[in-house]
Amino acid sequence: MSADTILVIEDDVDIRTLVMHNLRKAGYEVLGTADGAKGVRMVQNQAPALVVLDLMLPGMEGLEVCALLKNDPQTRDIPIVMLTAKGAEQDIVTGFEHGADDYVTKPFSPKVLVARVGAVLRRGAAELPAEDDSLHVHDLVIHPGRHEVLVRGEPAELTFTEFRVLHCLARRPGWVFTRSQIVDAVRGAGYAVTDRAVDVQIVGLRKKLGKCGHYIETVRGVGYRFKE
């Protein structure tokens, strides 16, 4: 399959046709299906560059589709943009927690959707630094091996957890992390901690980074990201 092929999983034929038409106009090759289970098989067999996924599908719902793809080592790196009428704050949080790379609510602008698809693909194409590589991001230098952070050339005294949170976010600028994803990255999956504890770590981290603290952005109702 072409590196620019996108799969649209949407049961509403009018919306699916609209999305596919606009993606083709933008230069992508596009496939479509109305069935979640069939969509999973298509992803597994054909490995598209990205999936546009509705949540309210007959049979296998979109969240289940997303979870299956993100838990499969062969498909977990394929980005998923959720396109759904479920726009409540908790719905968006749930979407990101199931592995969505972006979340677009209906009614939507086709031009905005195409732009969001392009942005997700560009983020995915960027090479992810290795865990032990030094990071040079904005005015920060992060040395994982030495557990050291330089802010405009001056060392910042971070706790172990603050350092891990910063490293998690800074490795993927622009990427939105839910609080539970941050906890998993810092402590390992299944570690019990409250959302409030993550917020406290972010507050302390921003304070220690001084004028560079604004690089850590709050995504309302979802979590945090490091500024691109």
- pTM, to two decimals: 0.63
Alpha helices by DSSP H, listed for the chain, are: 13-25, 36-46, 62-70, 89-97, 110-125, 160-170, 179-187, 195-209
Same domain, 143 and 218: yes
- Rounded to a whole number of angstroms, the distance between the first and last alpha carbons of the chain is 30
Residue 85 belongs to a domain: yes
pLDDT, tens only, 142-162: 988 888 999 999 999 988 888
Same domain, 119 and 150: no
Residue that is last in its domain, among 125, 145, 180: 125
Same domain, 151 and 67: no
Same domain, 141 and 210: yes
> What percent of the chain lies above the pLDDT cut of 90?
43
Residues found in the chain = 228
Average confidence (pLDDT) per 10 residues, the chain, 228 residues: 80 95 94 94 90 92 91 86 88 85 90 90 63 79 88 90 88 83 68 71 92 91 86
Output the pLDDT for position 180.
78
Same domain, 115 and 207: no
Q: How far apart are CA 222 and CA 226, in angstroms?
A: 14
Same domain, 9 and 92: yes
> What percent of the chain lies above the pLDDT cut of 70?
90
Q: How far apart are CA 180 and CA 28, in angstroms?
A: 33
Report DSSP state, residue 19. Answer: H
**What's the structural domain count of the chain?**
2
Residue 143 belongs to a domain: yes
Same domain, 25 and 96: yes
Output the pLDDT for position 192.
52
What CATH number is given to the structural domain containing 27?
Answer: 3.40.50.2300
Residue 130 belongs to a domain: no
Domain carrying residue 170? 135-226
> How is residue 36 written in tokens?
């979640």
